[in-house]
Structure 1
Amino acid sequence: MTTATSTEDFIQPFDVSALESAGIPELPLDRETLRESLLTAIDRVRPTLEGDAEANDVTETLEWSSVEALYHEGLLSLKVPRELGGPEVDPLLYLELIDELSYINTSAGWCAFINSTSTALCGAFIPEAGVGRIFPGDRMPIASGALIPRGLATPVEGGWRVSGRWPFASGSAHSSWLLAGFRIVRDDEPGPEHMIMACPVEDVQFLNNWQVMGLQGTGSRDFVVTDYFVSEDMAFDLPTTDPRKGGPMFWMGRPGFVTPDHAAFALGVARRALDEISLQAGSYQRGYLASPIGLRGALQHDLGKCDQQLRAARALCREALEDAWEFCLRNERPDLESQLRLRGACVYATDIACQVATTAFRYGGGNAIYNDRVLQRCIRDINAAAQHFMVNTSAYDNLGQFRLGMANVNAMG
């Protein structure tokens, strides 16, 4: 049985039923028109996202005004299959959009990719009967969750009984559905499947345990279920299930489907940090210096180097996505080498982003340390994001093993 500790309180999420009932706008089918439409939408929500940045951190979740703004523009549904009313953007466009949202507001960018990916997984992989529950009529749901298989399940007639506690449910405070990973126990041992279940948020208990140093505004709390019945039409096996709905995007596989999420976030945060210190450099003076820091040769050198590193990281991510997309267009999952390079590029982008944010923060001096300053938020949030297993540097080990011709290489190792 899974229970909360004595120091943790249960909390309630927002009621999003009225928001979801309104649905999202019908978006263009043509890619370039869709791109222009969504970038324009991001410009419309920019003032709200910028204005909520500090409040997100204080309340430890995305502000309701930001949730409404993002939802009404379709920016929490970017990957959702077209046949369910979503824009189903391709990976390269998605990389650009999440990059821009993360540039504006780190918490908003993070939640946008979590909600978009989680809702899309519900729509593309849950069996048809389950999809009918999650996407009733013209309603566009918001989903969140934790794919890591922290739950254990006992088979019963028609499904499973699942118990578990899942961490890092980002964006769950404004979600109506949750995804959760679990393994099926047979003969007292967890099996090889990596099952994903979908359940309404009212069926779980959320813990008030998101007191952290970074990504504070994402509301990434733990949630708990105990002996919870999951029917067969509300779950799927993540590694082996072929997409039931949607186009080429849903053949990206594992880890490919989520690599543009983390890469885009890192690129956007680093770009914001670099722009921020560039803006300050012309007027900011440190210590006893009478001239702005922009006149320092060291700063000029480091800004130029950071610019090139960031552009190289973005190009690497685009190259890996373009190569993988060729498989997807044939309704095939990218092969092992492609998956390794997708995750490797994602990790590299995060590594570079941490370096860029650190460089910018150091030149920002004492002015950068206050809670309402962009540079301190960038360095906190990118370092918190770098702790995610998807961007663990073990991805380099895995790619190295592949290059050495070693056996049993796992892209998720």
Structure 2
Amino acid sequence: MSSTLAEQRAEWRERIAGIGDTLRAESETNEDLRQLSPATEAALRSVNAFNLCSPEELGGVNAHPRLQTQVIADITSHDSSAGWCALIGAHESAWLASRLPDSSVERIFAHSDERWPVTCGSIAPEGEAEQVEGGWMVTGRWGWASGIHHSDFILSMSRITGQEPEPGKPPPLLCAAAPKADVVVEDTWHTLGMRGTGSTHYRYENVFVPDEMCLAGFERPPLRGGGWLARPTVTFLTAAGYGFPLGVAKRAVEEITRQATEHTRTGQRASISEQQHFQGDLGRCVALVEAMEGYGHHLFEELLAAPINSLEDAVRMDDRARAALRWAHQTAEDVVRTAHEHAGGPAVYSDNVLARLLRDIQTVSQHVIQTQSAYIRRGQHQLGIPVRPGL
């Protein structure tokens, strides 16, 4: 890996450009399959996209947050489903790499240079875990397992049976990882958008999870890896996560710029590109994309350098990052809607790129991390109202 951030960004931009044609060519196949195609998965693995956030000592990149944003934005600008699966795989593989005990990590990552152990799953506490000799019996059903079809390990979060929470504290939870072969993968992913991500439901049916496959709690620092990986959990998720709406917005501007020169709307003599109303809206969209990119760069540099001396500092940082992510998604949706509106009749067809982008950004905007509570909590901080940890 190159030494300076500028060199790393240039190197990764070239890497992603090298798989861009493949990602675009496979977009419809991903949607038809309702999961990433083998060619898409292979392309992402070929550039080590799933290694992006993991500790360097295990073969990961532990990339600077600005680089994470750029890489996911570049992938997403070619295909939304590929970008989303790349960021989920990069995040959750990093949790596996940074929070499992040494004995498990040595075994799981022993051949990571040949095949990176991609991880996905949910950390919503939807399961039940019962302690037994040497580990835990886990049962439960979870959703939103983006990338499960190409993943090697599947995470789960469960309530621990028989253990009551201490006064004033949340209930005890267990985060476990199981090989995909031990998990039942359902077929429930029939959706408005993000169809190619395969974000379906899955079940642990009385699965034995040894102690060495249980992750250290997210309220604690990671066992290995520093830098951005050691930031509070929600903050850690936002740098790569911010790249998704940025990439969607960039692709929307690219598409409407191209389509506007090729299409004349019914009743008009001039092409869309010759209409001043369109030119003004396009200029506004370009400015919004530039603002998104610039704000993200500024914010993540600040959050990377900011000291954390208390739980309150960590909560404030997480909520600042969440509010930025909420804004980025709303801004991207504004850009996509504007582009889609100007595109005219061709954009009503499901295979039109702008139609797909609109479905995708509307779907992802329902994600819990970028709901309205992100702004509410940010406003509470501004007003000096005490804000508890959480979403």
User: Does TM, scored on the shorter chain, surpass 0.5?
Assistant: yes
Q: How does 1:12-411 map to 2 (within 5 A)?
A: 27-28=1-2, 30-139=4-113, 140-186=116-162, 192-327=171-306, 335-410=314-389
8 A Cα contact 2:163 2:172, kept in partner: no
Report the CA distance shift for 1:395/1:313 in structure 2 as closer, same or farther (over 3 A): same
Structure 2: gaps (5+ residues) = none
SS in 2 for 1:179: strand
Note the alpha carbon deviations across 1:194-233, whole angstroms, 9 max, x for none: 4321110000000011111100001111110122222222
2:363 partner amino acid: A
CA distance in 2, matches of 1:318, 1:30: 16
Structure 1: gaps (5+ residues) = 1-26
CA distance in 2, matches of 1:367, 1:373: 7
CA distance in 2, matches of 1:333, 1:54: 45
Moved more, 229-238 or 394-403: 229-238
Shift of 1:298: 2.0
Moved more, 140-149 or 98-107: 140-149
User: Percent identity among equivalent residues?
Assistant: 31
SS in 2 for 1:312: helix
Shift of 1:84: 0.6
1:40 partner amino acid: E
Report the CA distance shift for 1:233/1:187 in structure 2 as closer, same or farther (over 3 A): closer
Matched residues, number: 386
SS in 1 for 2:141: strand
Shift of 1:333: 10
Report the CA distance shift for 1:116/1:380 in structure 2 as closer, same or farther (over 3 A): same
TM-score, normalised on structure 2?
Answer: 0.92
2:145 partner amino acid: A
CA distance in 1, matches of 2:163, 2:147: 36
SS in 2 for 1:110: helix
CA RMSD in angstroms, aligned pairs only:
2.2
TM-score, normalised on structure 1?
Answer: 0.88
CA distance in 1, matches of 2:200, 2:174: 21
CA distance in 2, matches of 1:279, 1:293: 10
1:104 partner amino acid: H
CA distance in 1, matches of 2:193, 2:325: 19
8 A Cα contact 2:164 2:172, kept in partner: no
Shift of 1:69: 1.5
